[in-house]
Amino acid sequence: MNTHLGTAHGRVEVLGNHTDYNQGLVLAMGVEYATEVVGSNRTDERLFFKAKDLKESWEGNLQDLSPSPDKMWANYILGVLRGLKDRGIPLKGINLEVSSNLPMGAGLSSSAALTVATQRCLQKLWNFSLPPIEMAKISQESEHRYAGVKCGLLDPMTILHAKRDHLLLLDFRSLGVESIPFPSTATFIIAACGEKHALVDGEYNERRASCEEASRLLGVSSLREVTPDRLLASKGKLPDRIYRRALHVVGETDRVTSASSLLKKGDMAGFGKLLDESHESSRINFENSISPLDQLCESSKKSPGHLGARLSGGGFGGSTLHLIQAHRQTEFLATFQKEAARRLGHPIEFFVTRPSGSA
Ligand code: GLA
Q: Which of 155, 171, 254, 276 is catalytic?
A: 155
In a shared domain, residues 295 and 185: yes
> d(Cα 22, Cα 256) in Å, to the nearest integer?
14
pLDDT at 140: 97
Mutate to test the pocket of ligand 1, among 11, 12, 141, 154 (most ligand atoms within 8 A of CB): 154
- Contacting residues for 62 by C-beta, under 8 A, at least 6 apart: 45, 46, 47, 81, 91, 92, 93
In a shared domain, residues 250 and 194: yes
- The answer, yes or no, to whether any atom of ligand 1 lies below 6 A from the CB of 313, is yes
In a shared domain, residues 195 and 263: yes
Q: Are 31 and 353 in contact, with CB atoms under 8 Å apart? A: yes
Q: Are 31 and 356 in contact, with CB atoms under 8 Å apart? A: yes
pLDDT at 105: 65
Structural domain includes residue 217: yes
Mutate to test the pocket of ligand 1, among 11, 13, 139, 142 (most ligand atoms within 8 A of CB): 13
Q: Are 152 and 234 in contact, with CB atoms under 8 Å apart? A: no
What SS3 string covers 294-335?
HHHHHHHHCCCCEEEEEEECCCCCCEEEEEEEHHHHHHHHHH
Per-residue pLDDT in tens (0 to 9) along the chain, 359 residues: 789 999 999 999 999 999 999 999 999 999 989 999 999 999 999 999 999 999 999 999 999 999 988 899 999 999 999 999 999 999 999 999 999 998 766 778 999 999 999 999 999 999 999 999 999 999 999 999 998 889 999 999 999 999 999 999 999 999 999 999 999 999 999 999 887 665 546 899 999 999 999 999 999 999 999 999 999 999 999 999 999 999 999 999 999 999 999 999 999 999 999 999 999 999 999 999 999 999 999 999 999 999 999 999 999 989 999 999 999 999 999 999 999 999 999 999 999 999 998 76
Range of the domain at 77: 3-11+32-161
Query: Can you give the CATH number for the domain in which 66 is found?
Result: 3.30.230.10
Ligand 1: atom nearest CA of 153 is 9
In a shared domain, residues 338 and 268: yes
Q: What is the pTM of this model?
A: 0.96
Structural domain includes residue 221: yes
In a shared domain, residues 221 and 82: no
In a shared domain, residues 126 and 199: no
Structural domain includes residue 169: no
Structural domain includes residue 27: no
Structural domain includes residue 171: no
> d(Cα 62, Cα 219) in Å, to the nearest integer?
44
In a shared domain, residues 86 and 138: yes
In a shared domain, residues 78 and 180: no
- The answer, yes or no, to whether any atom of ligand 1 lies below 6 A from the CB of 106, is no
In a shared domain, residues 210 and 342: yes
Nearest CA to ligand 1 atom 10: 18
Question: Helical H runs in 87-236?
Answer: 110-126, 132-146, 154-161, 203-218, 228-233
**Which of residues 161, 190, 206 is at a domain's end?**
161
Phi, psi of 30 (to 5 degrees): -85, 160
Specify which residues 11 forms β-bridges with.
Answer: 30
Which one, of 273, 242, 246, lies nearest residue 258 by Cα?
273
pLDDT at 357: 87
In a shared domain, residues 268 and 240: yes
Query: Can you give the CATH number for the domain in which 314 is found?
Result: 3.30.70.890
From the CA of 21, how far away is ligand 1's center (Å)? 8
> d(Cα 260, Cα 179) in Å, to the nearest integer?
10
**Which of residues 127, 161, 195 is at a domain's end?**
161
Structural domain includes residue 330: yes
Ligand 1: atom nearest CA of 16 is 12
From the CA of 314, how far away is ligand 1's center (Å)? 5
In a shared domain, residues 108 and 213: no
| Tally of domains in the chain | 2
**Which of residues 161, 192, 220 is at a domain's end?**
161
In a shared domain, residues 75 and 156: yes
Report the Cα–Cα distance between both ends of the chain, in Å, rounded. Answer: 24
From the CA of 85, how far away is ligand 1's center (Å)? 25
> d(Cα 268, Cα 190) in Å, to the nearest integer?
17
Structural domain includes residue 268: yes
Strand pairing category for 94-100 and 46-51: parallel
Mutate to test the pocket of ligand 1, among 151, 168, 279 (most ligand atoms within 8 A of CB): 151
Q: What number of CA atoms fall less than 13 Å from residue 220's CA on the CB side? A: 17
Structural domain includes residue 38: yes
